[in-house]
Each structure stands twice: as structure tokens, then as C-alpha cells.
Amino acid sequence: MIALYVVLGILLLLLLFVMVTYNGLVRLRNQTQNAWAQIDVQLKRRHDLIPNLVETVKGYMQHERETLEAVTNARNLAQQAIGKGVGAQSEAEQGLSGALSRLLAVVENYPDLKANQNFLALQEELTSTENKISFSRQYYNDSVLGLNNKVQMFPSNFVANMTGFKLGEFFEVEAPAEREAPKVSFS
């Protein structure tokens, strides 16, 4: 009789452990997905800022038509890449960053533009959007780390394997081009 209770008790504890661990895993996976969505929001914000930027800059830069077109094209490409997977999307975003940095480099030659209030406001928005992209990436990677720890570590790895949880993929900034690209001084 006592043995039965002990076995039942152990089973109950086991069930409780599986339940708590499973819920924790689901929470982490949702957090990771949500963090990924945040990155998308910020990338979209960057896309939305670019027509504004081109519009503001156009009047001052009569001679830079090609640079401006390159930015617009890169932005359209980046927009088309949405939903085509991490690789394609990050490649298109890198192209956009490159075009953007070439544009901002020639701003140096237009002192009038640098005094334009609209442009100054856009500068703050661009700086902040770049920050937000990197902060959302940071949060995403932290979330993936949390999830992966849980999936790989003992004893939660048993539950994760049973219920088919997969390791999350880190969002790495591998290409040095993207690291360097937006680093342009307005002054």
C-alpha cells in the first residue's frame, strides 16, 4: 500500500516537473518569436524613413541623382525580401545600409542641407532606428540564448526532446559591411 503511494507520488512529481518545464519552454519560444517580430518592426521603420530622407535631400542634391536612385532601389529590394527568409532579408538590408552610407557620405558636401531642420530631425530618427534595430537584435539573441540553454541543459532537455523543441537561431551580424556601413558622420 505504502509502495503504491510512493510510486503515485513520484509519478505526480514527475508529471508536475514535465508540466512546469514544458510551459517554461513554450514561454521562451513565444518570447523568441516576439523578439523576432520586433526586429521586423524596426526594419520596416527604416524602410519607411527612406522616402522621407530622399525627399528632403533631393532638393539640395541635384547632382547626386544616381546615389539617390541607388538608395531607393536598395530600399525596394529590401522590401521585396521581406518574408523570404533570414538570409535573403539580411543580404538586402546590407545592400540598403551600403547605399544609405554612400548617400550620407556625400551630405558632407552640402552645408545647407546639414542646417536643414527636417534633415536634423531625420538624423535623430535614423540614429534611433539603427539603435532600435541593434537593441531588438540584442534582445532576440538573449531570448534565443535562454531558449537554447533550456533545450540543451539537464534536466529540461528531456522534456524539450520529447516535445520536439528546436534550438533557436542567433541573429548574427556576420558581414563586416553591415557593421561599418552606417558609420557616417554628419558633422
Partner 1 sequence: MWEQVRSNRIRSVVLVGMMALLLLAVGYLLGWAFLDSPIGGLAIALVILAVLNLIAFFQGDNIMLAISRARKIKPDDHPRLYNIVEEMRIASGLERMPDVYIIDDPAMNAFATGRDAQHASVAVTSGLLQALNRDELQGVIGHEIAHIKNRDVLLMSLCGVLLGAIVLLAWYGSRMMLFGGMAGGRRSSRGGGGSAQGIIIIVAIVLAILAPIMAQLIYFAISRKREYMADASSALYTRYPEGLASALEKLAGSKVQVQAANQATAPAYIINPFREKGRAAADLTSTHPPISERIRILRSMAGGASLADYNQAYRTIHKGGKPVFSAASLAGAGTVGIRAAVPETALGEREPTKVERTREVSDLMWRMNEYETVNCDCGTKLKIPPDFKRSNVRCPHCGRINNVRSRP
Q: Which residues bind partner 1 (CB under 8 A)?
A: 31, 34-35, 38, 42, 104, 121, 123-128, 130-136, 138-139, 142-143, 145-146, 149, 153, 179, 182-187
Q: How far is the CB of 57 from partner 1 (least distance, A)?
A: 14
Q: How far is the CB of 9 from partner 1 (least distance, A)?
A: 25
Nearer to partner 1, 80 or 131 (CB): 131
Nearer to partner 1, 149 or 163 (CB): 149
Q: Which residue, among 15, 56, 61, 38, has the nearest Cα to 129 in the 3D structure?
A: 38
Q: How far is the CB of 102 from partner 1 (least distance, A)?
A: 13
Q: How far is the CB of 138 from partner 1 (least distance, A)?
A: 6
Contact 49, 122 (CB under 8 A): yes
Contact 50, 72 (CB under 8 A): yes
Nearer to partner 1, 126 or 160 (CB): 126
Nearer to partner 1, 61 or 100 (CB): 100
